[in-house]
Amino acid sequence: MGVSSRQKIEVSAGHPYPVFLGANLEDLGDYMLSRFGNIEQALIITQPVVAKHYADRVRQGFKGCRVDLVTVSAGEGEKSLARLSALVGEAVRLGADRLTLVVALGGGVIGDLAGFFAGVFMRGIRFVQVPTTLLAMVDSSIGGKVAVNHPAGKNLLGAFYPPLAVWTDFSTLASLPWQEVQNGLAETVKHAVLGDPDLFAFLEEHLSKILERDPLILRELTARSLAVKVRLVSQDEREQGVRALLNLGHSFGHALETATEYEGISHGRGVSVGLVAASRLAEERGLIAGADVQRIMNLLSGLGLPISVRGLEAGRLVQLMAADKKNRFGRKVLILPRGIGQAVQVEDCSDEDLRRAWAGVIDSNFPIS
Amino acid sequence: MGVSSRQKIEVSAGHPYPVFLGANLEDLGDYMLSRFGNIEQALIITQPVVAKHYADRVRQGFKGCRVDLVTVSAGEGEKSLARLSALVGEAVRLGADRLTLVVALGGGVIGDLAGFFAGVFMRGIRFVQVPTTLLAMVDSSIGGKVAVNHPAGKNLLGAFYPPLAVWTDFSTLASLPWQEVQNGLAETVKHAVLGDPDLFAFLEEHLSKILERDPLILRELTARSLAVKVRLVSQDEREQGVRALLNLGHSFGHALETATEYEGISHGRGVSVGLVAASRLAEERGLIAGADVQRIMNLLSGLGLPISVRGLEAGRLVQLMAADKKNRFGRKVLILPRGIGQAVQVEDCSDEDLRRAWAGVIDSNFPIS
pLDDT digits (tens, 9 = 90+) for B312-341: 889 999 988 876 666 665 677 899 999 999
Active site residue B267: yes
Active site residue A267: yes
Nearest to B217 by CA among B341, B134, B298: B134
Nearest to B161 by CA among B113, B92, B94: B113
Distance of CA B289 to the CA centre of its chain: 28
Q: Where are the domains of chain B?
A: 3-175, 178-359
Active site residue A229: yes
Assess contact for A76 and A267: CB atoms under 8 A: yes
Q: Which of B267, B269, B280, B332 does the annotation list as catalytic?
A: B267
| Fold type of domain B3-175 | Rossmann fold (3.40.50)
Q: List per-residue pLDDT tens for chain A, 369 residues long.
A: 444 478 999 999 788 999 999 999 999 999 999 999 889 999 999 999 999 999 999 999 999 899 999 999 877 788 999 999 999 999 999 999 999 999 999 999 999 999 999 999 999 999 999 999 999 999 999 999 999 999 988 899 999 999 999 999 999 998 899 999 999 999 999 999 999 999 999 999 999 999 999 999 999 999 999 999 999 999 998 888 899 999 999 989 988 988 887 567 888 899 999 999 999 999 999 999 999 999 999 999 999 999 999 888 899 999 888 766 666 656 778 999 999 999 999 998 899 999 999 999 997 554 444
The H-or-E segment that residue B134 falls in is: helix B134-135
Q: What CATH number has the domain spanning A178-361?
A: 1.20.1090.10
Segment B239-268 shows an average pLDDT of 85
* Pairwise CA distance, residues A180 & A168, whole Å: 16
State whether A156 and B88 contact (CB < 8 Å). Answer: yes
Distance from CA of A75 to the nearest CA of B (A): 20
Assess contact for A106 and A175: CB atoms under 8 A: no
Assess contact for A193 and A185: CB atoms under 8 A: no
Active site residue A243: yes
Distance of CA B251 to the CA centre of its chain: 14
SS3 for B206?
Answer: coil
Q: Of the CATH numbers 3.90.230.10, 3.40.640.10, 1.20.1090.10, 3.40.47.10, which one belongs to the domain with range B178-359? A: 1.20.1090.10
Angle in degrees, CA B177, B180, B186, rounded to 5: 145
* Pairwise CA distance, residues B176 & A96, whole Å: 39
State whether B121 and A156 contact (CB < 8 Å). Answer: yes
| Alpha helix segments (H runs only) across chain A | 28-35, 48-50, 56-59, 81-93, 108-120, 134-135, 178-195, 197-205, 207-211, 215-235, 250-259, 267-284, 290-302, 314-321, 351-361
Across-strand partners of A66?
A41
B267 belongs to an annotated ligand binding site: yes
Q: Chain B partners of A327 at a C-beta cutoff of 8 Å? A: 97
Which stretch of A362-366, B258-262, B277-281 has the lowest confidence by average pLDDT?
Answer: A362-366
A283 belongs to an annotated ligand binding site: no
Say if residue B369's pLDDT is above 50: no
Q: What is the DSSP letter of B140?
A: I
Segment B247-271 shows an average pLDDT of 85
Confidence at residue A85, expressed as pLDDT on a 0 to 100 scale: 96
Burial of B192 (0-12, 13-18, 19+ CB in 10 A): buried
Global ipTM: 0.89
Please state whether beta strands A166-168 and A17-21 pair in parallel, antiparallel, or not at all (unpaired).
parallel
Contacts of A177 (CB under 8 A, 6+ apart): none
Confidence at residue B287, expressed as pLDDT on a 0 to 100 scale: 97
State whether B97 and A145 contact (CB < 8 Å). Answer: no
Nearest to A110 by CA among A75, A86, A145: A75
Contacts of A152 (CB under 8 A, 6+ apart): A323, B88, B89, B92, B93
Taking CA–CA distances from B240, the nearest residue in chain A reads: A98
Interface of A with B in 152-171 (CB under 8 A): 152-153, 155-160
Distance from CA of B332 to the nearest CA of A (A): 12
State whether B158 and A81 contact (CB < 8 Å). Answer: no
State whether B325 and A81 contact (CB < 8 Å). Answer: no
State whether B88 and A160 contact (CB < 8 Å). Answer: no
Confidence at residue A2, expressed as pLDDT on a 0 to 100 scale: 44
Across-strand partners of B59?
none
* C-alpha dihedral, B101 to B105 to B110 to B116, nearest 10°: 20
Active site residue A206: no
Active site residue A254: yes
State whether A98 and B150 contact (CB < 8 Å). Answer: no
Interface of A with B in 63-92 (CB under 8 A): 81, 84-85, 88-89, 92
Q: Chain A partners of B160 at a C-beta cutoff of 8 Å? A: 123-124
